[in-house]
Each structure stands twice: as C-alpha cells, then as structure tokens.
Amino acid sequence: LFSHFQPFPLSALRYRRIVNDDVILDERLQELAGFFKRSSYPAGMVNEVISDVRSRPRTLGYRNQEQSAAVFTPWIITYGAGYDETKDKIDEINNLVSNSRTWNRTSPAKVPTFRVVTRRAPNLKDTLFKRKKLALGSESKTTDPCTAPDVKKRGRPCMTCKLVSGTSSVTNNSITVKTQGGNCKTRNIVYAASCKLCSKNSVYVGKSVCSLSQRVNGHRSKYYNLLESFRNNDHFSPHGPGDCDDENVLGAHLFTVHNKRSFPDFNENFTFDILCTTSPESLRKSEQFFIDKLKSLYPLG
C-alpha cells in the first residue's frame, strides 16, 4: 500500500558512502526523505532511518576496541512505548542533556542518551503460563482466536477473533512466507493484513508493540472515523490531516480503492496474520524485512 518499492534504508546508506561532505549529505538526505514521504512511507520510519544514517561513519570498518560505547540509560515505562508522544518526549530529554553545560562540549558518541524500555511487574498470568510461550506466541505457527469458538467469556467478546486467518502462511503476488503465529493477545508483532477484495497486491505489513487485537481495533476505529467525517463533511481527505498514518491506511484503502461506505465493511474484507514476534527495538527492521520479502509496497502491494 506504500507507493514505492526500493528499500529506503539501502538508498540512504548509499548516500552515506558516496557523499563525503556533511553539508551536501544533509541536503541529499532531506531530498531523499521528502521523496519517500511523498511516496506514502510512514514519516516516523523515514525520520528514524535518516537519523541512523547520519550517525554512521562514512567508511564502515572494524571498531577500535579501546573506543567506549555510547552510554545508554533506560527509561522504563509500563504503557505507551510506541506512542508518538513518548518518542517526542525522549527526543526532548535527549536534546536537553546534549545541550547542557556538562555535555555540550563532549563528543556526541559519548553523550548519554535515554531510550524507552517497556517493563511491568509479574502478574498472575505470568505465574500460570511460561514466559517463553507468551513471548514466542502459538507453537502451531498459525494465528488463532484468543477465545475458542465454544467458550463464552464475560464482558465484551474479542472482535478480532473472527478476523484471524488460522493459516500458517501469507501469500502476496505468488510469494509465500511462513508465519510464526500467535493469537489476538500476542504483543510486539509484525503482522499482515490481507484484503479479500484485491485479486493481487493484497497484503499490508505493519508492526505494533500492543496486542494484535488492540492494533486491529485501532485500524477499525480509524475507518469508522473516516466514514463519520465523510457523512458530516463534504470537504475532507480520506487520509486525514497530513500524510496517511499507519492506522489509517487500511480504512483509506477500503474507502478509496473499493468505494466502501458502511461500518461492517472492515470486518468483512480483512484477515490478519502474525508474521513474527520480536523485541520492540527490532520491530522496525523486522517490518522492513517482511515488506521487502512480500513486495507489499505499491504497485506490488
């Protein structure tokens, strides 16, 4: 569903290796970032890659063992590690530290930085089930409902259970990958959303530190908001203000490509699979791997 296919990190790294002037490098990277943002790449991914490329040396060689690694200070939080507000706050704190009297004359590589770490206290669920199984998801390699069909739970039923595929692979444009699997409650995931209405180029690949059910609820909510906006306002963008964000992309696809205008359309036309689970720090790289593997960028996905 993105409108370009060439892997963005590789393009930026080529600039790092070819351009030897930092001023020119910054100009070229900004041009490259603008191009990929206009091609519907998520702005957060683009900015993260640009920042990573800027910090790399031009000649990638072996590190001198005497060089000390950058100081890493974890900021432990229990909720919202993937939110934009959290990332903005971390950037604000790191800027304050780097510009302080203590560190403003120090090499950037030696300035301590803060990074978000998600951690919570053990609960009864951790006591009853093995942590390893919770981290790796289902052993069956399929994405299954969190509640068996014959089991009735108190409270609201999970709306994602009926949307998981129950299969052990995902196919896009004759390319098939095996899934690690899990269920609606599995966290720290790279997932695939398959559109039933598309005969080809049907897969969107996304990531989430939250559970699959929470991520699907976010996609569904954005689609509902889009329909409400359409019914109440004749002058609106199906992508919302600015670029189309990750949660809005599925609803925008139904609205613009398939001209869907009713609330049940989301549940009727998407299925979801968990491609893999990994640590929060590795999610973006894993997402990029499966995007390239399944060729899920427009016009191939």
Say which residues have a Cβ less than 8 Å from residue 25's Cβ, sequence separation at least 6. Answer: 15, 16, 19, 54
For the record, the structure tokens of 297 come out as 């960028």
pLDDT at 212: 95
Q: 139 — phi, psi (to 5°)?
A: -75, -10
Whether the Cβ atoms of residue 172 and residue 201 lie closer than 8 Å to each other: yes
Written as one letter, the residue type at 65 is Q
For the record, the structure tokens of 218 come out as 């976010």
What's the pTM?
A: 0.58
pLDDT at 60: 53
Nearest to 261 by CA among 231, 301, 296: 231
Residue 97, pLDDT above cutoff 80 = yes
Rounded Cα gap, residues 256 and 259, in angstroms: 5
Question: pLDDT grade, residue 220 (50/70/90)?
Answer: very high
pLDDT at 184: 93
Question: pLDDT grade, residue 213 (50/70/90)?
Answer: very high
pLDDT at 127: 63
Q: What 3 state SS string does the chain have? A: CECCCCCHHHHHHHHHHHCCCHHHHHHHHHHHHHHHHHCCCCHHHHHHHHHHHHCCCCCCCCCCCCCCCCCEEEEEECCCCCCHHHHHHHHHHHHHHHCCCCCCCCCHHHCCEEEEEECCCCCHHHHHCCHHHHHHCCCCCCEECCCCCCCCCCCCCCCCCCCECCCCEEEECCEEEECCCEECCCCCEEEEEEECCCCCCCEEEEEECCCHHHHHHHHHHHHHHHHHHHHHCCCCCCCCCCCCCCCCHHHHHHHHHCCCCCCCHHHHHEEEEEEEECCHHHHHHHHHHHHHHHCCECCCC
Question: pLDDT grade, residue 200 (50/70/90)?
Answer: confident
pLDDT at 232: 83
pLDDT at 79: 74
State which of 33-37, 110-114, 235-239, 249-253 shows the largest mean pLDDT: 249-253
Q: 135 — phi, psi (to 5°)?
A: -70, -40
Q: 33 — phi, psi (to 5°)?
A: -60, -40
Q: Tell me, rounded to whole angstroms, the distance of Cα 92 from its chain centroid.
A: 22
pLDDT at 2: 41
Residue 275, pLDDT above cutoff 90 = yes
Q: How many CB atoms lie within 10 A of CB 215?
A: 24
Interval 93-111 mean pLDDT: 85
Cα torsion 75, 76, 82, 83: sign = negative
Rounded Cα gap, residues 251 and 223, in angstroms: 4
Question: pLDDT grade, residue 70 (50/70/90)?
Answer: low
Residue corresponding to tokens 């991520």 = 215
Of 140 and 110, the one with more pLDDT = 110
Rounded Cα gap, residues 239 and 254, in angstroms: 11
Interval 184-200 mean pLDDT: 92
pLDDT at 201: 84
Taking CA atoms, 242 is separated from 69, 151, 225, in Å, by: 38, 43, 16
Instruction: Work out the percent of the chain whose per-residue pLDDT is above 70.
Output: 79
pLDDT at 235: 58
Nearest to 202 by CA among 116, 122, 101, 273: 273
Whether the Cβ atoms of residue 282 and residue 173 lie closer than 8 Å to each other: no
